[in-house]
Structure 1
Amino acid sequence: MSTKGEMNQDRMYTTLNPMIEAIFCKATECQMKGDFADALLLYKEIVGKEPNNVRAFQSIADVLDHMGNHDEALVWYDRALEYDPNNAETWYNKGMTLRKTGCQEEGLSCIRKGISLAMNAPSPRFRVE
């Protein structure tokens, strides 16, 4: 996702790069098929092209979590939250991963934060370049 955005009629619009979106589609397909290694490579390719792509950071973390690499997944969730501290899904997923590592209270706190953010978030709007 492009880091550019603009306001129009009190809504934030983010411009999407079709090339990046095509890679996201391929990566998501791999992930859904359980081909986590290829999905991880594709998400990292996105980061190579857009070094601040929060969706890619979160996707990498999600794949690593599915692969059982919970500690590394937490590093990527934290990286995503550095750039987008109000991302409800990232907070929630981080909490679920923390709980898998035995950090029950910290995980529950993150889950609650994710739910709270989701309850108050406006719906996103996207434009394709």
Structure 2
Amino acid sequence: MSTEGTSAFERMYATIDPLIESVFCAADECQIRGEYEIAIRLYKEIIEKEPNNGRAFQKVADCLDHMGNHADALVWYDKALESDPNNAEVWYNKGMTLRKTGYQEEGLSCIQKGISLAMSAPSPRYRV
């Protein structure tokens, strides 16, 4: 996804690459079916083409979390947050994973940050 510019309200405008989106669709289908290893491989293909794709980082983290590999999931959530520090869903998911690993207070803090960001964020606009 490439940034085209911002509006007066600081909304990000982006161009969606149809080839990348088709890989996302295939990977998402694998994730839904529980084929996490295949989904991770596909998300990593996206990362090879777009090394700063926070959405792909998040999807890898989500798969790892579903597989019970919480420590690695947290590493990938951090990568996603480096790419997009205002992603409410990543903050929320990271918080849920932290709580699964026994870090209740830190997890709650991340969840609250995610909710706060979600409540104040404008809707993104995309162009194909």
Residues 4-39 of structure 1 deviation map (CA, whole Å, 9 limit, x = unaligned): 232346442111111100000000000011111110
2:92 & 2:7 partners in 1: Cα distance? 29
Aligned to 1:7: 6
Q: Distance in 2 between matches of 1:121 and 1:15?
A: 19
Q: How far did residue 85 of structure 1 move?
A: 0.8
What is aligned with 1:103?
103
Alpha-carbon distance between aligned partners in 1 of 2:2 and 2:103, rounded to the nearest angstrom: 33
In the alignment, structure 2 segments of 5+ residues that lack a partner are none
Question: 1 CA distance for matches of 2:14 and 2:57?
Answer: 17
Q: Is the 8 A contact 1:94 1:110 kept in 2?
A: yes
Q: What SS does structure 2 have at the residue aligned with 1:4?
A: strand
Root mean square deviation, CA, Å: 1.1
**Identity among equivalent pairs (%):** 69
Aligned to 1:21: 21
Aligned residues: 127
How far is 1:41 from its partner?
0.5
Q: Is 1:57–1:80's contact at 8 Å kept on the other side of the alignment?
A: yes
**Structure 2 equivalent of residue 127 of structure 1:** 127
User: Residue 39 of structure 1 corresponds to which residue in structure 2?
Assistant: 39
Q: TM-score under structure 1 normalisation? A: 0.94
Q: CA deviation at 1:97?
A: 0.3
Q: Could you list the runs of 5+ residues in structure 1 that have no partner in the other structure?
A: none
